[in-house]
Amino acid sequence: MRGMPWLYVVVAGVFEIGLTVSMKLADGYKNLWATGATFACALLGFYFLGLGVKSIPKGTAYAVWVGIGIAGSSIVGIVKFGEVASPGRLACVALVLAGVVGLRLLPAT
């Protein structure tokens, strides 16, 4: 299927968000369940990213994966952990998302 590689990269990005959230909850790897989730999310994220880069330029796939992780982790941090949501920080997240969208929409030639 034509869109499957992009779906793989998006799934990998979701696992990247899970990685950062579970790492925060692991509390220096003292919480065993969250530590296990951290390693599981890392493995699954790399697995799906690996599937995606079979058909997508690796630099583009990596940037999209990281962009999803940055934006998602920032949003979860703001909503769940009370991290600062200043206009400057939100603008930076928006810039990351704009770059991700641009990499997805522009030709890779």
Provide the token pair at 43.
């493995």
Contact 54, 5 (CB under 8 A): yes
* pTM of the full structure: 0.87
Range of the domain at 52: 4-105
Q: What is the mean pLDDT of the chain?
A: 92
Give percent of the chain above pLDDT 70. 97
Q: What's the total number of domains in the chain?
A: 1
pLDDT in tens, 75-107: 999 999 999 999 999 999 899 889 888 877 877
pLDDT in tens, 5-17: 999 999 999 999 9
Alpha-carbon distance of 23 to 19, in angstroms, equals: 6
